[in-house]
Amino acid sequence: MAFQYQSLAQQLSQKIYRGELVADQRLNSLRQFAEQQRISLNTAKSCYELLEAQGLIYAKHKAGYFVSPRPLQTDQVPQPHYPDFVSQPRKVSHLDLQIEILEAAIQPKLIHLGAIQLSAELIPIEALRRSIQRALKHSHSEDFLYSDRQGHVVLREALSAHWAEDGFFIAKEDIYISNGCMPALSVMIQILTQVGDSIIVPTPSFNGQLQLLASLKRKIVEIPAHSEGIDLARLEHAMQHSGAKMCLMTANYQNPLGFCLSHADKEKIAQLAAKYQCYILEDDIYAECSFSTHRPLPIQFWDKQGYVIYCGSVSKSLSPAYRLGWFSLPPRLKAHRGQIFTQNVTVNTPLQLGLADFIFSRAYRSHLNHLRPIIRVQVQQYREFIIQCFAQIEIRINQPQGGYVLWLQLPEHIDSLAMYHYAQQQGIGIVPGLIFGEDDRYRNCIRLNAGHELSAPVRQAIQCLADWTRAQLESKQADGRS
C-alpha cells in the first residue's frame, strides 16, 4: 500500500504527463499544497521531494517549485559523430592554448560557458558555514598541529561511510586526502610512471587532464570514445601493444561527452586492467551529479586485483573553492606510501573537518538530492535553447546522462578556435574542441557549461554564438558563388 505522499505524487505526475501542468509552470507552495490537500507540511514536502527526485519538478531558490520541461526526443537532433584514428604514443600539443584558456576561464567579467562549474546559487553556503563552525567548536588541540599526511581520519571515515551508502566500500585506511582531484591524479601519475612514458586516454578527453599529462612530460595513447562510451576493443589492444602501464579515464558522466559506462563495461575494464597489469586511474569527479536519485558505481567496485586507483573531489558536486579531493591506494601499492607522503601536499585541517561534518550531518546528502533534479532540468533547458538558436544549422549535440557538460558539434568548416577568440571579444567564455584531442579532429566542436541558470545574459551569449556561426556559413556560401 502506497503512503499518502506517494499517492499524491502519482496524481501530480499524471497531470504533468497529460499536459495539464506545463513546463516551467509554478506549483502551489508547500503550505498552499498542504492546506489544499488537508495534509501535514511534512507530507507535502515528501510529495514534492519525490517528484523532484523523479525529475518531474524542480525548485528555484526563494521562488518555489516548478514543472520540469519534458525531454526532447533524442532523434530530433543527432548525436555528434566521432572520427576514427590510429592509436599510437605521442606528445600532447596545444599546451600554450590550454594554459591561455585556463587563465581566461577564471576572469570574473566573462559569461562562463566554458569552465565547468556550478553557479554560486547552487552551493549551500550557509550549511557549509555551519559545518565549519561546528567542526571548529568540537575540534581538539591536536587538530591545530601538523596533521596526518594521509588526511584527517574523521574525513576518511566520513567518505568511507558515504560511499558505502552508495553501494561500494573503500576502507578509511586506503583513502588519502588531497588538494583536489587533479593533484591526486598528479601524485599517482608521478609515482607509477616515468617521464616519457605513455598513458592511455579515451578521446575526446578532458583538456585539463591532457594539460596535466603534458606538464608532467608524459605521452598519450588515444583510443576512441563516443556518446555511448569507450571502444573497449581498442582499449585492450592499447593495453596489450602500446607499452602503456596506466590508463586515465572517467566512467561516470565523462567530460566532455557525458556518457556513463554500463556495469558490464566497467567490469570488463577492471578485468583488462588485471590481465595486462595496466593501472586504471579513475577520475570519478562527476559521479554524484547524476540525473537520477542513484549514484552510479565506479570501476573500482569491480576491481579484484588492485589495479584501479579511485580518485575524486567535491569540486563539481559541491564547490571548486574547497580544494578537497582524494585517492585510494590498493593493497598492492602499499609500498609506495613513503613516496605518496613526500609528494602529496598536506590539506587544510579545518576544511577537512568541516567537510566531514557536512557529510556526517547528512547536509551533503540533502544537497545532492536537491542538486540532481536541478542540473537535469538545466541541461535540458540549455539543449533546447541551443537547438532553437541554431535552427536551420546542421549541428549535433550530446545527450548527457549526468553532469552538466554539453558537447556541441558545428558544421565541418566552422573553426571553433575562431569562435573562441570572437567570444572572448564579446565577453563570453567557451572552450574550443581542438584541445580535447590531437590532429585537430574536434576543431568544429565546442564544450559548454550548463552549471548556471539559463539566465537572460546566458541566452544572449548562446544566441551570439549562433549568429556568428550563421554569419560564417553565409560568408562561405557567398565565397562559393563568387
302 and 358 belong to one structural domain: yes
Q: Bigger pLDDT: 277 or 13?
A: 277
Asked if the structure places residue 81 within a domain, the reply is: no
Is residue 79 in a domain?
A: no
Q: Which residues contact 367 (CB under 8 A, 6 or more apart)?
A: 124, 127, 318
Q: Which domain range does residue 50 map to?
A: 4-67
Percent of the chain's residues with pLDDT above 70: 96
- 173 and 279 in a common domain: yes
Taking 80 as the threshold, does the pLDDT of residue 293 lie above it? no
Return d(Cα 29, Cα 32) in angstroms, integer.
5
Question: ∠90-409-392 over CA atoms, to 5°?
Answer: 160
In contact, 350 and 320? CB cutoff 8 Å: no
pLDDT attached to residue 482 = 58
pLDDT tens for 187-231 read 999 999 999 999 999 999 999 999 999 999 999 999 999 988 999
The domain boundary, picked from 364, 386, 407, lies at: 364
- Looking at every residue in the chain, the average pLDDT score rounds to 91
Mean pLDDT calculated for residue range 78-100 = 88
* CATH value at residue 385: 3.90.1150.10
Residue 134 maps to which CATH number? 3.40.640.10
Do 167 and 45 lie in one domain? The reply is no
Inter-residue contact 185 to 281 (CB < 8 Å): yes
Tell me which DSSP letter residue 199 carries. E
Does residue 380 surpass a pLDDT of 80? yes
Beta-ladder partners of 223: 202
DSSP class of 155: H
Q: Is the pLDDT of residue 1 over 90?
A: no
In terms of domains, do 337 and 398 share one?
Answer: no
Q: Which residue in 206, 208, 261, 197 sits closest to 235, CA to CA? A: 261
Contact assessment for residue 147 and residue 346, using Cβ atoms and an 8 Å cutoff? yes
Based on the fold, state whether residues 110 and 50 are members of the same structural domain.
no
Q: What is the pLDDT of residue 480?
A: 65
Among 329, 364, 399, where does a domain finish? 364
In a domain, 80, yes or no: no
- Domain count along the chain: 3
Residues 114 and 158 in one domain: no
Distance CA 254, CA 286 (A): 7
Q: Is 466 contained in some domain?
A: yes
